[in-house]
Amino acid sequence: MMLFVATLLSPLAGGLLLGWMNHSKLAARLNILTGVTTFVCSLLLALQVLADDHFDALGGWFHLDAYNVFLIVLTAFVGMTTTIFSAPYMQHELEHGRVDARRMRLYHSMFQLFQLGMLLGFTTNNIGVLWVSLELATLATVLLVSLYRTPASIAAAWKYFILCGMGIALALFGTVLIFFTSSSVLGHGNEALTWTLLLQHASELDPAVMTVAFCFLMVGYGTKVGLAPMHAWLPDAHGEGPTPVSAVLSGLLLNLALYALVRCKMLVDGATASELAGHMMMGFGMVSLLVAAFSLHQQRDIKRMFSFSSIEHMGLMTFAFGIGTQLASFAALLHMTVHSLVKSGIFFTVGHAAQAMGTQKMAQIRGLIRHHPGIGWGLLIGTAAIAGFPPFGVFTSEFLLFTAALHTHPWTCVVLLLGLLIAMAGLFRAVQPMVYGEVPEQAVPVQVNMLPVYIHFALALLLGLSIPVFLASWYDEAAALIISTSVEVTIL
Amino acid sequence: MTGSFTLQLVNGLAALMLLVSFALLAQHRILSVLHWFALQGVLLAATAGIVAWGTDNHELYISAIMTLLLKGALLPWLLWRAVMQLHVHREIEPLMNSTVTMLMALAVTLFSFHIVQPIEQMSALITRNSMAIATACMLLGMLMMITRKKAITQVVGFLAVENSLFFAAIGATNGMPLVVEIGVAFDVLIAALIFGLFFFQIRTTFDSLEVDAMQQSLREDDEA
């Protein structure tokens, strides 16, 4: 219990403190300290959940099970490494006048507030509060995207704000609809939005209302996941914001939105006893994969290109959750983990590369390996990992996903394979000239901290070679939880 | 007796909500948009108050007062202050082909009555008609966001969508749990403050509040 409170309090306290701290180097250290504290608390919390199977805190307001506990640890971990990465990165931006001391304060404070929103969203047992925390995390990142105050960054933040605000409003409408039908079953109070109770009584919820609700939730949370065709905000927000923000947007925030969608899908499956929700997710997933794979090729900005790769992978995960079998859900959860690790690692590397070359335009980034071997190899390894080369974890999860798709919907494999191949070609076509070749004149030496990147890639490699037993059992348990409501349908 | 009387009142208010949504869509002076928006907030608070009285739900009184303060007074005032400080209160926003917009609004309203049919059939609550109107108001708010070119009117559209969601929550479910409502209100307040901040940033950076100018800068940045 204490641990749980500490996990949530640490980013809150850190965020409040950092809002008052003027000394930027000290603030960066405090930021790292907060990140480490949150991570340690979440790790200890996970050990407790591992021992007790599941965990309810503060009178059932918070619920931790196999599905969210590893996501909490993942969020805290990537949050921590991002704070470590951001210390030298933001110092460089400060020295080059892209931000001033006041905005550094805003940056640190909002970063921790974002972490708070994320952790609250993952732990809460109330789907209304889940919505509120997702909105909180979104608002915090809106301010982070516009941090540089350039015309493009303000435009990107506005677009992000309006589109996601709109999307998330639709999700709230879906939540209202769920409450509308559940309040006649569970009474007119907090119980009617409590997820564990809703799942128990899912079969008593009205199928017609739940179907309409899921349409709104799908489009609403889907906007936040970055699914095509609602993805227009994502590349702009990733491209124009500071790199640590792109890393957590891609690696963490998209996960929370997908997590929320899957939690709702479990309820809808239980109520409607049909595969409608799953089919919708599969459709959106496949369209996103294809759109992202083709759009990858047209990008000029390195961060925009990798943000399209995020859309591609979120599409894959949505597709996998849509199939909804044990194997597919297992693959989706594994893919969520490795994608977060690898993609945030890539964004760290890209951030350093952009600083070294003084630009984000891919045409002007050349000879990274010669200029700084750490950055060059980091980018190459990261791209290989995200493109799905063995022995990295992305390969394992994609392989499992294909196996699952072959069992249930064999024809989709053609689409998936096509999408993945096109995306891989796009990534390598762009990355090859950037890492090899001559160093351009404008290149400057930068202070680089590649340790977080290598830790991320090493973990992804480890997950590809052998998944630790406790993690595999968590995935299994979570996958069983996800399919428990729809399994009869799949067999019939 | 109170049941049918409350129902009539809520239905009347729902009709007014729809009227205000149409009015918002048709206004082209920024100040009158704000006036209609404030009226929508007051109507919302009145609905919450009446439903609270009709169902004897005390939590709902709190949210009625919260709504009156936040959506009837604070948000319109914040927007009004921003408009005054930016000296755009006299500006007239040309509407995109208003006949077509109104016809689309009509179609959207019919469509929302169609999609909520299965929901209305099962509702036993006193306020079942309002679901369709809430859905219509939400879609009309979105239509407003699409057809408007200025940042401020887009925000009013956004907040109108938020208002109609709240209306759906009171009208169809007699109000969400208080914790969720406070959370949502808190988020809306923060969002409004961020919007306010953005108005000034957009104005100083782009020298206008036209959304098209911003989109242009994104394209240029990508091509540069």
The residue range of the domain holding A356 is 303-492
Q: So what's the pLDDT on residue A488?
A: 45
Residues B222, A126: C-beta atoms closer than 8 Å: no
Q: So what's the pLDDT on residue B1?
A: 39
Q: Is the pLDDT of residue A170 over 70?
A: yes
**Local confidence band at B189 (pLDDT 50, 70, 90 cut-offs):** confident
Q: So what's the pLDDT on residue B2?
A: 56
Q: So what's the pLDDT on residue A65?
A: 84
Distance from CA of B82 to the nearest CA of A (A): 17
Residues B205, A154: C-beta atoms closer than 8 Å: yes
d(CA A342, CA A81): 12
Category of A273 on φ-ψ map: left (φ > 0), alpha (ψ -120 to 50) or beta: left
Residue indicated by tokens 């956004």 = B158
Query: Burial letters for A8-31: b for 16+ Cβ neighbours within 10 Å, e otherwise?
Result: bebbbebbebbeebeebeebbebb
Residue A423 lies in a domain: yes
The candidate with the shortest Cα–Cα distance to A230, out of B142, B201, B169, B150, is B142
DSSP state of A19: T
Average pLDDT for B189-198: 85
Q: Is the pLDDT of residue A171 over 70?
A: yes
Is the dihedral angle over the CA atoms B34, B40, B44, B49 positive or is it negative?
positive
Whether A132 contacts B183, CB under 8 Å: yes
Whether A366 contacts A435, CB under 8 Å: no
Q: What is the pLDDT of residues A196-223, one digit of tens each?
A: 889 888 888 888 889 889 999 999 999 9
* Residues linked to residue B111 through DSSP beta bridges, in sequence order: none
Q: So what's the pLDDT on residue B28?
A: 81
Q: What angle do CA A466, A468, A469 make, to 5 degrees?
A: 120
- As a residue count, chain B comes to 224
Phi, psi of A62 (to 5 degrees): -125, 145
Residue A282 lies in a domain: no
**Local confidence band at B187 (pLDDT 50, 70, 90 cut-offs):** confident
Residue % of chain A over a pLDDT of 70: 98
Following DSSP, what letter does each residue of A25-59 receive, concatenated?
HHHHHHHHHHHHHHHHHHHHHHHHHHHHS-EEETT
Q: So what's the pLDDT on residue A458?
A: 94
Q: Is the pLDDT of residue A487 over 60?
A: no
Total structural domains within chain A: 1
**Local confidence band at A335 (pLDDT 50, 70, 90 cut-offs):** very high
Residue A288 lies in a domain: no
Question: For A183, which of B173, B191, B206 is closest by C-beta distance?
Answer: B173
Q: What is the pLDDT of residues B7-21, one digit of tens each?
A: 788 888 889 999 999
Residue A452 lies in a domain: yes
> Higher model confidence: residue A189 or residue A248?
A248
What residues of chain A lie within 8 A of the CB of B145, using their CB? 162, 166
**Local confidence band at A491 (pLDDT 50, 70, 90 cut-offs):** very low
Q: Is the pLDDT of residue A352 over 60?
A: yes
DSSP state of A228: T
> Higher model confidence: residue A462 or residue B200?
A462
Residue A428 lies in a domain: yes
Q: So what's the pLDDT on residue B86?
A: 84
What residues of chain A lie within 8 A of the CB of B217, using their CB? 151-152, 155
The average confidence (pLDDT) of chain A is 90
**Local confidence band at A489 (pLDDT 50, 70, 90 cut-offs):** very low
The candidate with the shortest Cα–Cα distance to A352, out of A249, A453, A448, is A448
Is the dihedral angle over the CA atoms B80, B83, B85, B91 positive or is it negative?
negative
Question: For B217, which of A155, A162, A188 is closest by C-beta distance?
Answer: A155
Q: What is the pLDDT of residues A84-105, one digit of tens each?
A: 999 999 998 898 888 888 889 9
Q: Does the beta carbon of B219 lie under 8 angstroms from any beta carbon of chain A?
A: no
This complex has an ipTM of 0.90
Residue A179 lies in a domain: no
Q: Is the pLDDT of residue A109 over 60?
A: yes
Question: For B165, which of A172, A209, A212 is closest by C-beta distance?
Answer: A172
Whether A111 contacts A120, CB under 8 Å: no
Nearest CA in chain B to A237: B218
Residue A420 lies in a domain: yes
Residues A154, B186: C-beta atoms closer than 8 Å: no
Question: For B165, which of A154, A176, A236 is closest by C-beta distance?
Answer: A176
Distance from CA of A123 to the nearest CA of B (A): 15
Quick one: tokens of A7? Answer: 């996990």
List the single best residue of B113, B198, B200, B216 to mutate versus A (max A Cβ within 10 A).
B198
Residue indicated by tokens 């969020």 = A75
d(CA B145, CA B152): 10
Quick one: tokens of A246? Answer: 């792109």
Q: Does the beta carbon of B58 lie under 8 angstroms from any beta carbon of chain A?
A: no
Average pLDDT for A38-49: 90
Q: What angle do CA A116, A118, A124 make, to 5 degrees?
A: 95
Q: Is the pLDDT of residue B134 over 80?
A: yes
Residue % of chain B over a pLDDT of 70: 92
Q: Is the pLDDT of residue A79 over 90?
A: yes
Following DSSP, what letter does each residue of A360-423 receive, concatenated?
-BGGG---HHHH-HHHHHHHHHHHHHHTT-TTSHHHHHHHHHHHHHHHH-TTHHHHHHHHHHHH
> Higher model confidence: residue B46 or residue A492?
B46
Residue A71 lies in a domain: no
Q: Which B residues, 114 through 143, put their C-beta within 8 Å of a C-beta on chain A?
A: 115-116, 118-119, 122-124, 131, 135, 138, 142
Q: Which B residues, 175 through 214, put their C-beta within 8 Å of a C-beta on chain A?
A: 176-177, 179-180, 183-184, 186-187, 190-191, 194-195, 198, 201-202, 205-206, 211, 214
Quick one: tokens of A261? Answer: 């969608």
Q: What is the pLDDT of residues A437-456, one digit of tens each?
A: 888 888 888 888 889 999 99
Q: So what's the pLDDT on residue B113?
A: 85
